[in-house]
Each structure stands twice: as structure tokens, then as C-alpha cells.
């Protein structure tokens, strides 16, 4: 049995061990239980409301059992889910899922299949035809097998094959040298299913494997990239001699500058923040990345099956980076570990998968009285919760930035290596960019869903949207310059269309709580730029599987365990069982417990500069108080001055130098 | 005569003295020459092309005379412009401008008129009716008098009046206590023209001045704002013990991380950057803020005349803040001074009006090979050129951020104090937010134009825009997931409409230079979110005066001295003489010397949190290489590691502390 953990504490190794043991014990040994994901299940909100109230009142805390979900295969290909109460050591339920439901893939398995593929006689046979130069070998990336056949029920995996240059370096960029054959295997049984061949010209024509035409790889690693003169970047050091302004207590509770919340690494989402308060007022119950889909625009088979769901298909936390001190963030850093599992159900720590630190972000506000030249000025300090996941070739950096003015900035940075395709010399295609010799990067989209579970001064909230509209020109508006806002209320679960040209802004308000100054309901606004959504046809699998990717903002009624925008199981899914079902036009969502889903999308037309490793493309959603406080809530920040900030003039750093040199 | 200055060096005090003396000497003493703006005129580009070429070749530099423009009044109300060659000490031309052309206002004059207004018997009479409590006084803000009458030719000024609370503090927030009368004076003659009365209810009804109903001011100054417990923010120090990575040579030439450019503070724009190169390739000839208009949406007179042009009407550099070390930026700072003038033509330094420094901005790129867990990671370093202007109640922070990956981020931060209007208790209006007792902030728009004069590998450039469009579903695209880009070329001077739902992106390309990797023309893309533009009627003065504010992106043919989006003279202008004339649909702009004008607009619906001083609202335009380089140009950055970055874990800062304490 577990000791009494906070319900929002991340899963513990002993909890995973207990759950996996209970599940294994429930089957005969011959069933060969093979786990693919185990993590904590969120507690029911009705219980947590009481718990949070008791926490704030200082009254006795309700006992909320810790429950884990386990995804696992039995008898090789039967996919199951169990819920285990690890507080009392008891399996609540276990079910075998219908044929065709495919679970998330486990990194251990992927690595094994990767090796299996390369060593398979059929693949060896194909490799031989390449007649590679001495020292050159072949590497493959196992890829999620997206859906193109409603009758397919086997769990499959598509392997994209690349030449690994003969430089003997493990970090050579194989993505620069894609090959034109791509085998498909069945997962778990490791059965060879089929060899797909990839086109190299303008159309879908393929040819049998030919000897490889040697071209140099475009390398990103400093040992290989050919950069002989590195830029002279001088150190820029961030120090907090009096310590950081934040505290982490009780395992995962962060207190910083009026903010209070809990951070919990999760296998699927990377992390979630829970129970967010600012200046003693409740603002959000839970915020996290919810799903992501990356469909490619190259129409030719098998590229139409490149549509990964990076959370549901493989786990964003599961693929979280081990963040390194001084590498991924600067200053005084607090790390949290993630938790991974082996197929046996044995847990292991994914070290430093979340990092937290403070940053300066320029000025927060300033006013100068021109009569006296007196300035009032405060700097913008932010608290960053960061995680980074590597999904094969690509990296996503998710930063939740809490700001001293009560706002939250949800930032996505896309980086890593483009997914590449072979292309013949002198060929150009209208759906891709040639980024190196014989290598093309197809146009694609990154569409992320962030799930925002609000609690704006309580759980009964409403989503409204305001358009700024001209007043008619009449006696009341004789000069034709007047404009007002027009407010609409979201009454039923569904989506809202973006409308940038009317300055449409979304607000989550609490109609039961009126701001005494403005006389209007308190709220938070959701700022996000208008973007192109999913380009695929409405009746394509890409669209059917990712309804969330078709609109930018959604509102649903809260229900426990509705966390993932494309549904619980996305791998080879045939349709969306998330927003596609929950945004049903039926549920009442006005003045109710609701969830807001914000879709951040960007159509990525690769540029040569994105290769061999891509400078970050940054996208943001801002949540900001809107008539929530009775004035600027950051007036209690200290004034910015040099007694505090210790800036120096260029040229004066010499005197600093000696001191700092002894310090570092 | 001037010594040989670089043509892009900012104006010198002795140049201003020489020019003003020559101009004064050209008139009889009785003409009473009264200067309002003197600054450097940009040299002709055809000459500068040769100059820049010679600089790079190391050949003898052409002699380009330094020319100053002078705006001044004679005989009290005659407005004139002179061009003076200060290299040889000679007036090139001087002209009296037509009646009705009003020059930018000089801060000295505004301050004088402000006092004059408050002391005027008519205003004293009105103040007496307020029966203010003891110690309470009246303050006024002189306001630009926007246009509502095609026959008006007098230079006018509207004064908004406020109560200054009786706390004896100079920094008390008078904007919190607006009054209901607003006198209009003629500029320079200081003649009282008229008393406007301001409505307090829902409609335009006004009443004679009544005794003031005492309400507390909403204060922003730390001495007054009532915040008794300041937040405990710990110092976050940025040090560069080995000095910054940038150099400033030859007065204003910045060299940093492959970037080379010149920064020149100007009276009107704040600053301009010139002759921008990255990694030895020319990219931009000149970038600057070009104009800004701030129209208000309250339809009632006299608020329809609240439409400031903060560059043309009063000078963004003229109103530039004196930036303070450790206050406005952190780290190792280089400042540049601006130059102001008195009405006599005597110059004075506006100290530290531009600051420059390096910042860390998180990760620039990262890739982890999941097979080996080896990471390649570089941090994003930026070089910030910052200026801040106070335009009466409001502050704008302009940051030009050069990035190590060859991109430039043009950032605007809006802060300061909302422009306020009186409102009666319990009244709500649909065009404003009540932000304090009896004080309302009307909805308004901030619309800024940035002028981008490109030189993408030379001066012959073309603007194109690409839409991402679905492929038809056919044999070629059987799964309905294909998409391509559709490119359009801008052939004639004009604008492009925003189209976020087709992912429309704008590129400035050089059709004469093909990227050897992608096989497409080299270019830079212009990233900007779609925004609502000017809400005022097409036939309103607001629209006629600010054509630039009606569309987000414009292309014109380059001509010397076409720098300001709304034209040279904006104060009380009747129509736009900038883009309204230059974007004429006639000039060829394909493969030509062109200028791109990007409009950043935001409709500002004030929230209570924006008062009494507003947390920054941040808006960005990004210029990024697009198939300009043959790979990621930042591969020559050093890898991010802790030997360099010196981060520490929470808890370990204690050991650091002692050292740092001795240091600071």
C-alpha cells in the first residue's frame, strides 16, 4: 500500500510495481503480459473539489485513492486496459479492447523492432542491392502506421530507411540520406508484411532498388558539420545570489510570486499543472498539452500514412528528454523526473524531464511623467515549466510560462530534424522543399491541442467571444469612428470559428461573479492568432481521426477522464473519439463545469535553413486576466533599479571580470 | 563645416547649431524663427549604394554631403521647411508650407501651453466651479487636435483636464480623475478658441461644470498605490564576465554574431537601422518604425478627434525616454543618445534614448539521437536595440531583436496609462470599460507601420505571397491529404490582403539569385499574425488620414525620402500623403528597388487590469531567412553546456552567494 500521497503527485515507482504485479498475477504466465504504458489516473473532480477546499480551509483531507491505468498486451496481440487502485492494492477493472484498437508504442519495443527490421533477410536483401561504399550502413526509423484502410486491425509499423554515412560517427545525420524502400512489419509478432517503395520523381512511380548514388550527408553534429570557425559567443550568466523566488514543497507544489500550482510529469502529456491559483484566487483546475497531430502533404503512398499523434501514439512524457543543467535552461534550476516502464512493468526514472526556473522577460510596465521625468517601472519576471520531447527526428519544447501579472503563456517551440523523403536529382515537387542533395522535406502541419480546464473563481464558467464592430454612421456616431464589442455566449458543447478581422477574442468568464469596478463578469481571455487548420479533406482519415485539428477553439462540458483531444487510443485509429464525440452540440456549457481546448496549428513549409536541424519555430497561446482583478495585479512588484539589477555599461565589465572569474 | 561623418551617423549638435543659425540668418529678426524639429535627412540611396560598395571594397569613399531638414514657424503661424547642407554650410531650399499644414509639436511648447491653459482666466473660472477640496488642483494634458473639419487651417490643441489629488505628490495619477471640460487653444498664439464639454452618461449630452464629486484616485506610484506588502522578488542577475559579444565601432556600427548594421537615433522614428548584413550578405537597407495612429472608438464629440500620429505629430525620438542602467535592460549595456532641440534651434542631448544589449532567449535548436541519447543543442542569443517613448499618458517600447539564426524580430510593447474619460456613477457604455470610480477607458486601436527597405542579396527584390492549398482529390491524391503552395507575385505598388486560413506568408525574394539547394529564389519571409485593421468608416477622416492602417502589408517602389507611412505632415492632416499616394497600383515593384510596409494593429479593449498602469501588450513581426542560406546558418554556434552557462541547482545557490555578494 502507498503512503498518503497528494492526489496530484506523479506516479511513484512502487505504485507502478504494485499495479504491474497485480495485473501480471491476474493472468497465467503463458499470457505473457507485455506492458506499454502505466501511469496515474486523474482523481474524480468532485472528490478533488472537496480535497482542495479542505486543503485551503486546513480541515482534514478526504482520502482519495490513487488509481493507475495500465495498457498491456496479452497473448502477443490482445490489447488490454486495467485500472488498479494502488492505495488498497486491488484491480478495479480490466478489459480487453476490441480488435483494431492499438495501444501506444513502447520505446523499448521500437528499439527492438528497429534492430529486427535491419537484420531481417528481406531488408538485408534490399540493402545488398544498394551496393553501399565501404563503411556505409543502413539505419531505420520505425514510424507510426497511420490509417488508410478501415478493415485493417493488425498493429503495424512502417520503417523508413536511411543510409548512415561511413564516417564511423554515431551522430551522423541519416535523415539526410533517405532510401527508397520502406518495409512494413506487424508489431509484437515482428512479421514482415510488405515492402513499400518510395517515389523519387514528381509522381508516384517507383522503381526497384538501385545502387545508391553517393552524395554527402548534410550534418548537424559539431564533429561533422564542417563548420571550421565557431562563432565567438561570450558567456551570458544568470545568477540568483539570494536564491530563486520560487519554492517547491510537498513534492510538487510550486509557490511563486502569488502563483500556487502543482506540476505533475505524466507519460502521455509530458506534464500537467493542477489547481492553479493567483493571489489567493482559483483560476485553473488543470492545464496540459492534450494531443498533437502531424499530417504530411505529400499525396503519394505511403506518405499519406505519415500522420503521427505524438501523445496518443507514443507518449510525450515517455519520450521526454533528460534535461541537462546549463544546457536546456539558464539560472537556478529545479528538475522533476518522469517515470518510464519496461514491458515487464518494471519502472525506471526518466531523469530531469521537467525543468523549472525563473527568467527575466524585459519590461512589464512603465510610465514616465513627462513633467517630472519620474519613471515607474517594473520588470517582467516569468516562471517557466519546461519539457522537451524527442519524437524520432523531431523535437517539441513545451513551456508553460507563469507571469507576475497573472497571465500564463503557453509556448510551443518546434525544432529537431525534418522528416525527409528521397528525391531524384533535378526534380522539384510542389509539396516539398529540396533541403540537400537528393533529399526533400515535404510540407506538413503541426497541430497541437492544449486542454485548459478553467476554474475562474470557481468551477461554473462560461465561454464568450467578443467581436469589435463598427457602429453605424448616424446621429449618434456622426464622424463614423465609433465601435463597440458584440458578445456571444457559447451555450452548447462545440467550437468557435476564428475571426481575426473582427478582433474576435475568447473569454472564460464566471457569470456569478461581477467585477466591482467594471461591473462585468470576472474572466480570463484566451489570446491566440488565427491559423490555418487541417488541410486534409473532411472525409480523409486525417480529418476523421483528428477533429480537434479542424478548429482552433472548442468548449466541452467537463467529464472525468476526457483528457485527450483525439480520444484515448489514437494509434491506427479510424476516427476521433475525443472532441469529435464530446463537442456534440448537445451538452450545456453555459455557467457549467467546462473545458476549453485551444488548437495551435502551423503549416510548415520547410525552408533550406530548417535543415539539418531546425531553428525553433515559436507559437503561443496567452491566458490573461480580463476584468478579473480590480486593478493591475502587479503593482506590488518592486521597482526596477540598478541597486537590484546590477547592470553595467559596456567597458565596465573588466572590473567585474576578476571577481566573476573567481566565482565560476 | 562638419568633419567627415558617416552618412548614417546620427545628427550632431554642431550640425543642428549650424543649420539653425543659417536658417535664422535667412530671416529678419522680427520673423521670430521658431524651430519645432531639426534632424538629418537620409542621403540618396543611389549615392549610398556606391558608398556601401566602396566601404566593403576598401576603396575611397564617395563624399556625400550631410543634409539637415528644419521645420520651423515664422511670424508666429507660418510653417516652413528648410533643407540645409551642413557639410558646406548652405541652405539648399526653404519653403513656406501651405496654410493648414501643421508641423510636429515641440515638447517645450507643449509644456508652456499646458501651463498657459491652466492659468487662463476661462479655465480658472471653470476650475472654480469644481469647488475642489483643499490641496486638490487641476492638471491638463495637451492633446493633438485631430481633424474633423476640412476648412480648419489653424494649428489647434485640445486640453484634457484632470483633478490632481491633494496628496501633495507630483506622481499622483491625474488620469484617474478626468474632468468634463476640455478647452481648445490655438497653438503659438495661445488664443482661447472654445470650451468643449464632455459627456458623462451613455449619450453625448453634456452639462455645465458642477462641483467635483470626490472619489479616490487609482494610483500607480509605489508611494501612493496602497500596496503595503511588496512581493519578495529575488535578484536575477545577468553578467558577462568576458564582456559582451558585440562591438560598436565608428560611432554607430554594430558587429555581433555575423550581423553588421548601423543604428541611428532619429527625432521622428526613435531610431533606424541601416545597411544590415548577416554572414557577409546584404539583407536590409533600412528598417524603422514609420508611423503610428491611435484612433478611439467613443463616437461622441470631442473624442472623435482623439487620433494621434505619435511619430508625425510629435516625434517618437523627441519623446524618447532617458533609459537607465539596470532599469530598462539587464546585463552589459551600450547606450546611444538622441538629440532634441529648443525652439531657438539650440540642440540638447536626450541621454540614453537607445539601449543595446544581448539576451538569452531559450533554445535555438536541439536534436537528441534517441539511439545514443546524444544531444546537439544551441541556445538562442539575441541582440536587442531598444527605445521607449512616452507620448503623454502612454508608453511604447520598440525592440529590434537580431537573432543568431539570421532572423529579426520587430517587437512592440504597449504600456503606460490608458487615456481616460469621465463617466457618471453606474453608467456603462458599449465603447469603453469602467476602470475606476467615475473613470472610463474607451476602446481604441494602436496601429503601427514598420518600414522595411529590403536588400536581399542586392536591391532588386520582389514581394511574393504563398497560400497553402489543398490538392484536388484524384488519382494523384487518392487519400485527400495532399497540399501545395500557390505563389502570387506583387507586380504593382499596392497592398496584399491577409489570409490566415490559407497560411498566407509574404516573402521578399531576389529573383536574380537562386538558392543552389532548393533551386528557388533566395528570400526573407515576413511573419505577422492577421489582425483587425482600422475600424473607422472609409470616408471618415480617421481613414483618409491613415491609409496605412487599413491593410497589413504594402509594397511600394523605392523613392528617396518616402519614409513615413501617413506622409510627411500628419498633424491635423486632411488626408494621407504617404502610402495613400505611393501605393498607387501603377509603379512596377517586381524585381525592382522596393519598400515593404508592415502594419501591426491591435484593437485595445481595455480591461480593469490595464489600469492604473498597463502590463505590456506585446506584438511581433518576424523577418526570417527563407531559402536564403544553403543550410541552417547557426550551425557554427557553440554547443550549450554548463561549463559555459554555469547554471546551478536549487539549493546550490548558497555556495554561490558569498562570492556574488563580494562581487556586487
Q: Kindly list the residues from chain A whose CB atom is less than 8 angstroms away from the CB atom of residue B608.
A: 515, 517-518, 627-631
Question: Can you tell me the distance from the alpha carbon of A478 to that of A481, in angstroms, rounded to the nearest whole number?
Answer: 8
The model's pLDDT over A355-368, given as tens digits with 9 standing for 90+, comes to: 999 999 999 999 99
pLDDT value of position B3 = 56
Residue of chain A nearest B298, judged by CA positions = A482
Rounded to whole angstroms, the Cα distance separating A383 from A401 reads 5
pLDDT of residue B662: 28
Q: What is the pLDDT of residue B59?
A: 97
Looking at residue A3, its pLDDT comes to 56
The residues of chain B scoring below 50 in pLDDT are 1-2, 656-664
> How does residue A661 score in pLDDT terms, banded at 50, 70 and 90?
very low
CATH of span B246-296+307-418+443-626: 2.70.98.20
Whether chain A has a CB inside 8 Å of the CB on B558: the answer is no
pLDDT in tens, B130-161: 999 999 999 999 999 999 999 999 999 999 99
Domain B13-96: CATH class, spelled out: alpha beta
Q: Of the residues A71, A296, A394, A396, which is catalytic? A: A394
Contacts of A654 in chain B (CB under 8 A): 243
Number of Cβ atoms within 10 Å of the Cβ of A268: 24
Cβ neighbours around A116 below 10 Å, total: 15
Query: Which residues from B are below 8 Å from A633, CB to CB?
Result: 609
Q: Which residues lie closer than 8 Å to B144 by C-beta, 6 or more apart? A: B105, B157, B158, B307, B308, B309, B313, B314, B571, B572
User: Can you give the C-alpha Rg of chain B in angstroms?
Assistant: 27
The answer to whether the beta carbons of residues B291 and A615 sit under 8 Å apart is: no
Q: Which has the closest alpha carbon to B343: B94, B18, B26, B36?
A: B36
* Cell representation of residue A150: 478501415
User: ipTM of this predicted complex?
Assistant: 0.96
Whether A147 and chain B come into contact, CB under 8 Å, resolves to no
pLDDT at residue A2 tops 80 = no
Residues B335 and B416: beta-carbon distance below 8 Å:
no
Are the beta carbons of A180 and A207 closer than 8 angstroms? yes
Residues in chain A: 664
pLDDT digits 0-9 by tens, A573-621: 999 999 999 999 999 999 999 999 999 999 999 999 999 999 999 999 9
- Cβ A327–B482 below 8 Å, yes or no? no
Please give the radius of gyration of chain A, using alpha carbons only, rounded to the nearest integer: 27
To which residue does cell 571594397 refer?
A: B57
Residues 16-75 of A with CB under 8 A from B: none
Sort A167 into a burial class: Cβ within 10 Å, 0-12 / 13-18 / 19+: middle
d(CA A613, CA A616): 9
Fold annotation for A247-296+307-418+443-457+524-623: Beta-galactosidase; Chain A, domain 5 (2.70.98)
Chain B residues lying within 8 Å of A632, measured CB to CB: 220, 609-615
Residue A370 contacts B, CB cutoff 8 Å:
yes
Give percent helix, percent strand, percent coil of chain A, each to the nearest 5. 15, 40, 45
Q: Does the active-site annotation cover B394?
A: yes
Find out whether B533 and B549 touch, Cβ atoms under 8 Å. Answer: yes
A472 burial level (CB within 10 Å; 0-12, 13-18, 19+): exposed
SS3 A193: strand
Q: So what's the pLDDT on residue B126?
A: 98
Task: Compute the mean pLDDT over every residue in chain A, rounded to the nearest whole number.
Answer: 96
pLDDT at B658: 34
Quick check: A335 and B609 CB within 8 A? Answer: no
pLDDT at residue A4 in the model: 84
The pLDDT tens digits of the residues spanning A308-338 come to: 999 999 999 999 999 999 889 899 999 999 9
Measured CA to CA in angstroms, residue B371 lies from A140, A171, A335, A653 at distances of: 11, 9, 23, 43
Neighbours of B272 (CB within 10 A): 24
The answer to whether A501 contacts chain B (CB < 8 Å) is yes
**Interatomic CA distance for residues B293 and B583, integer angstroms:** 18
- Residue B654 is predicted with a pLDDT of 59
> How many H-runs (helices) and E-runs (strands) does chain B carry?
8, 33
Neighbours of B141 (CB within 10 A): 20
Could you state, in order of their start, the residue ranges of all structural domains in chain A?
Answer: 13-96, 107-197, 247-296+307-418+443-457+524-623
Q: What percent of chain A has a predicted confidence (pLDDT) above 70?
A: 98
Say what the pLDDT of residue A40 is.
98
Interchain contact B361–A (C-beta under 8 A): no
Q: Please give the biggest Cα pair distance in chain A.
A: 86
* Integer Cα distance of B97 and B72 in angstroms: 10
What integer pLDDT is reported at residue A655 of this predicted model? 54
A13-96 shares its CATH topology with A247-296+307-418+443-457+524-623: no
Q: Is A362 on the interface with B (CB under 8 A)?
A: yes
Cβ atoms of B345 and B39 within 8 Å: the answer is: no
CB contact under 8 A, A537 and B473: yes
Computed from CA positions of residues A52, A53, A54, A57, in that sequence, does the dihedral angle turn out positive or negative?
positive
Q: Which three cell numbers stand for residue A485?
A: 464589442
B107-197 is classed in which CATH architecture? Roll (3.10)
Taking CA–CA distances from B658, the nearest residue in chain A reads: A241
DSSP string, A354-395: EEEEEEEEEEEEEEEETTTTEEEEEEEEEEEEEEEEEETTEE
Binary contact (A376, B537; C-beta < 8 A)? no
pLDDT at A653: 67
pLDDT of residue A319: 97
Does residue A657 carry a pLDDT above 70? no
Average pLDDT of A283-311?
Answer: 97
Nearest to B154 by CA among B77, B264, B263, B258: B77
A375-416 residue pLDDT tens: 999 999 999 999 999 999 999 999 999 999 999 999 999 999
Using CA atoms, how far apart are residues B567 and B541, in angstroms rounded to an integer? Answer: 15
Task: Give tens-digit pLDDT for A169-226.
Answer: 999 999 999 999 999 999 999 999 999 999 999 999 999 999 999 999 999 999 999 9
Q: Give Cβ neighbours of residue A263 (< 8 Å, ≥ 6 apart).
A: A252, A254, A271, A272, A273, A274, A336, A354, A356, A385
Residue A495 and residue A135: Cα distance in Å, rounded?
55
Task: Using the predicted structure, report yes or no on whether residue A268 has a pLDDT greater than 80.
Answer: yes
Query: Distance between CA A138 and CA A177 in Å, rounded?
Result: 10
pLDDT of the residue at B4: 84
Distance, in Å, from the CA atom of B299 to the CA atom of A550, rounded to the nearest integer, reads 38
Amino acid at each position: 500500500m502507498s503512503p498518503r500521497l497528494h492526489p496530484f503527485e506523479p506516479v511513484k515507482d512502487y505504485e507502478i510495481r504494485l499495479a504491474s504485479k497485480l495485473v501480471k498475477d491476474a493472468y497465467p504466465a503463458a499470457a505473457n503480459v507485455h506492458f506499454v504504458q502505466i501511469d496515474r489516473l486523474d482523481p474524480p473532480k468532485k472528490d478533488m473539489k472537496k480535497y482542495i477546499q479542505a486543503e485551503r480551509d486546513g480541515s482534514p483531507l478526504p482520502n482519495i485513492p490513487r488509481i493507475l491505468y495500465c495498457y498491456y498486451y496479452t497473448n502477443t496481440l490482445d490489447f488490454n486496459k486495467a485500472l488498479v487502485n494502488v492505495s488498497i492494492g486491488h484491480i478495479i477493472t480490466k478489459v480487453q479492447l476490441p480488435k483494431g484498437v492499438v495501444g501506444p508504442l513502447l520505446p523499448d519495443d521500437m528499439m527492438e523492432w528497429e534492430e529486427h527490421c535491419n537484420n531481417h533477410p528481406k531488408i538485408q536483401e534490399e540493402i545488398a542491392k544498394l551496393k553501399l561504399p565501404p563503411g556505409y550502413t543502413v539505419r531505420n526509423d520505425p514510424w507510426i502506421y497511420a490509417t488508410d484502410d478501415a478493415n485493417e486491425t493488425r498493429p503495424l509499423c512502417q520503417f523508413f530507411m536511411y543510409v548512415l554515412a561511413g564516417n564511423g560517427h554515431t551522430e551522423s545525420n541519416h535523415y539526410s540520406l533517405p532510401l527508397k524502400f520502406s518495409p512494413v512489419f506487424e508489431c509484437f509478432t515482428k512479421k514482415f508484411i510488405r515492402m513499400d517503395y518510395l517515389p523519387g520523381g514528381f509522381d508516384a512511380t517507383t522503381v526497384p532498388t538501385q545502387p545508391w548514388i553517393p552524395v554527402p550527408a548534410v550534418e548537424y553534429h559539431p564533429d561533422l558539420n564542417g563548420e571550421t570557425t565557431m562563432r565567438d559567443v561570450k558567456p551570458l550568466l544568470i545568477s540568483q545570489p539570494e536564491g530563486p523566488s520560487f519554492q517547491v514543497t510537498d513534492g510538487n507544489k510550486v509557490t511563486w510570486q502569488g502563483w500556487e500550482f502543482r506540476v505533475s510529469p505524466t507519460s502521455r502529456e509530458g506534464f500537467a499543472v493542477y489547481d492553479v491559483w493567483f493571489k489567493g484566487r482559483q483560476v485553473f483546475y488543470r492545464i496540459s498539452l492534450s494531443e498533437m497531430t502531424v499530417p504530411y502533404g505529400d499525396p503519394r503512398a505511403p506518405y499519406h500514412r505519415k500522420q503521427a499523434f505524438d501523445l496518443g501514439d507514443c507518449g510525450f512524457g515517455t519520450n521526454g528528454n533528460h534535461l541537462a543543467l546549463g544546457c536546456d535552461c539558464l539560472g537556478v534550476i529545479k528538475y522533476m523526473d518522469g517515470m518510464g516502464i519496461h514491458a515487464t512493468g518494471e519502472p525506471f526514472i526518466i531523469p530531469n524531464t521537467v525543468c523549472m526556473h525563473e527568467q527575466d522577460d524585459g519590461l512589464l510596465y512603465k510610465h514616465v511623467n513627462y513633467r517630472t521625468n519620474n519613471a515607474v517601472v517594473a520588470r517582467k519576471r516569468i516562471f517557466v515549466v519546461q519539457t522537451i520531447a524527442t519524437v524520432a527526428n523531431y523535437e517539441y519544447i513545451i513551456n508553460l510560462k507563469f507571469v507576475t501579472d497573472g497571465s500564463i503563456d503557453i509556448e510551443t517551440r518546434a525544432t529537431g530534424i525534418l522528416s525527409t523523403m528521397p528525391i531524384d536529382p533535378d526534380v522539384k515537387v510542389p509539396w516539398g522543399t529540396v533541403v540537400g542533395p537528393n533529399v526533400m522535406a515535404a510540407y506538413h502541419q503541426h497541430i497541437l491541442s492544449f486542454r485548459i480546464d478553467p476554474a475562474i473563481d470557481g468551477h461554473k464558467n462560461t465561454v464568450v467571444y467578443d467581436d469589435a464592430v463598427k457602429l453605424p454612421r448616424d446621429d449618434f456616431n456622426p464622424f463614423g469612428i465609433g465601435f463597440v464589442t458584440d458578445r456571444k455566449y457559447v451555450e452548447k458543447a462545440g467550437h468557435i470559428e476564428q475571426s481575426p478581422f473582427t478582433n474576435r477574442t475568447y473569454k472564460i468568464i464566471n457569470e456569478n461573479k461581477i467585477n466591482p469596478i467594471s461591473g462585468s463578469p470576472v474572466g480570463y481571455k484566451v489570446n491566440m492568432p488565427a491559423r490555418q487548420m487541417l488541410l486534409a479533406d473532411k472525409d480523409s482519415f486525417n480529418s476523421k481521426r483528428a477533429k480537434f485539428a479542424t478548429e482552433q477553439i472548442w468548449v466541452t462540458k467537463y467529464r472525468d477522464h476526457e483528457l485527450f483531444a483525439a480520444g484515448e487510443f489514437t494509434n491506427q485509429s479510424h476516427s476521433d473519439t475525443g472532441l469529435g464525440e464530446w463537442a456534440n452540440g448537445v451538452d450545456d456549457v453555459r455557467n457549467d463545469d467546462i473545458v476549453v481546448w485551444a488548437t495551435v496549428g502551423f503549416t510548415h513549409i520547410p525552408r533550406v535553413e530548417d535543415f539539418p536541424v531546425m531553428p525553433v519555430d515559436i507559437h503561443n497561446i496567452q491566458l490573461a486576466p480580463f476584468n478579473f482583478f480590480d486593478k493591475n495585479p502587479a503593482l506590488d512588484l518592486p521597482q526596477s533599479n540598478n541597486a537590484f539589477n546590477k547592470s553595467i555599461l559596456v567597458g565596465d565589465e573588466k572590473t567585474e571580470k576578476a571577481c566573476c572569474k573567481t566565482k565560476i
